[in-house]
Structure 1
Amino acid sequence: MRLQRILPFLVVAFFGCATTEDISYLHHRINKLEERVAKTDRRVSETVTEAQKEVGSEVQKVRTDLASLDADIRALKEQVRTLQASLEENWELLRKLSKRLEELEQKKVAKEEKPEETPPPSAVLPPPTAPALAPIPSPPAPEGEKEEYQQAYETFRNGDYSRAMALFQDFLKKYPKSKLADNAQYWIGECYYMRGEYEKAILEYEKVIQLYPRADKVPSALLKQGFAFLQLGDKVDAKLIFKKVVKDYPTTPQAEIARKKLRALP
């Protein structure tokens, strides 16, 4: 130590006047000072070590937190990308369907403006053999309404689609707020479908979807739109419709039928 190196000089400096006891006391004081310095060095070293451990622990904790936040951010970004892709797909679907329905509306107007020629009996096509969907149980309605609705429905079941259509249309005029209104509108679409007028059927099914968006008949109307597009040879729009049925109404019987059709389509 430094104090030990200067000890000979101190001894020489004080030799003439210092006693042996003084020198011993001086050695004792020097040893005590050295012990205090050593203890101070140890305490400083221990304090630094503890501080380093604490800092290291905090740094590790910050790194762990940052890694967790980074993972959360990546997960959120992935969710945003998925939602954005789904939204874009839905917008594209709506755009295509809106365009297709607009084309059908224009064709319907053009046909209504042009007198239809009655084909010879031999040219009349037989009605499609595809069965109509089974009706979903209707909510309670007043007796008068139910009787008129049932009459129209029985007429449909008997195969008189023109008469049934007129009855369902009269029903809607008389009872526009009826709880059976969505059913009546659906069966008007079915009448057109069974007569082979698929474009008109699509437009009537669309009225169910637009006028009664929360009604039980909406999944059936969507599904039958898909079938009507298939009858028109439009597999692209048919597949879009079937996918919408599966996506929007996944647990319904109509969704199961749509899945089967999607698997069967190329």
Structure 2
Amino acid sequence: MSGMSRRRCSGRTHVLILTLLFGMPCAFGARYAHAGLFDDEEARRQIKDISIKTNERLDTFAKGQIELANQIQALREENSRLRGQVETLTYELDSARKRQQDFYVDLDGRLRKLEPQVAQSAEARSADDGKPPVDPPRKAVSDPAAETREYEAALNLFRANKLKEAAAAFESFTKAHPDSTLTPSAQYWLGNAHYSLRDCKKAIDAHRLVASKWPAHPKAPDALLNVATCQQELADAKSAKMTLDTLLAKYPDSTAATTARQRLKK
């Protein structure tokens, strides 16, 4: 090979080497530039996804807060409504109790007009027939007007729903005036006062005394009916039935007997 040919080959080789030396950095730079561009786009995409998810979570949280606030408001309104119903029912119950007490007092006044002024049973009169008169034992002089005032005072306490005071007043009356014509009624109202105080045992004792000691008194049938009511509330159904049967046997034509028949049918 001539010298000219070797110089040409050498020149081409130098050109190739230079091309490789200067071309490779450009190629690598282009690749790195493309990779950097790709990384930026991926980062922006991820940021966008995170932003979307965050906004969705915030929206869900906000909706939950609104729903919770609505539920709290609804509960407040329901509580207010129920409170109003309770207050209304309490007022109606108090009014009904007051009307019932007024009814009892009015009934008591009517029955007192029918009661005899002299408490003497038919059995006692028949036992005295044919015997020589015997001087009755002397008793303390009573004051009917004072007894009536004392009885009315106790009854007014019951009417005013002062039940403890009424019970004490009626009990005091029965002890102070055991022979008064008003004593059976006072004993009856003593039982009602105990019943209103939710003391059924004392109410039963008081009403039983009315029925046993004053069987001919107009309040005796109602006293037996009240005994049965208390026995039912004490879950003593057997005793209640026996009391109602006794009521029907002794006072079949009384108003209390009508109520007793209805209860026995249930």
TM-score of the superposed pair, with normalisation by structure 2: 0.48
Tell me which of the two structures has the higher relative contact order, counting C-alpha pairs closer than 8 angstroms and 6 or more residues apart.
Answer: 1
Q: Which has the larger radius of gyration?
A: 2
TM-score of the superposed pair, with normalisation by structure 1: 0.48
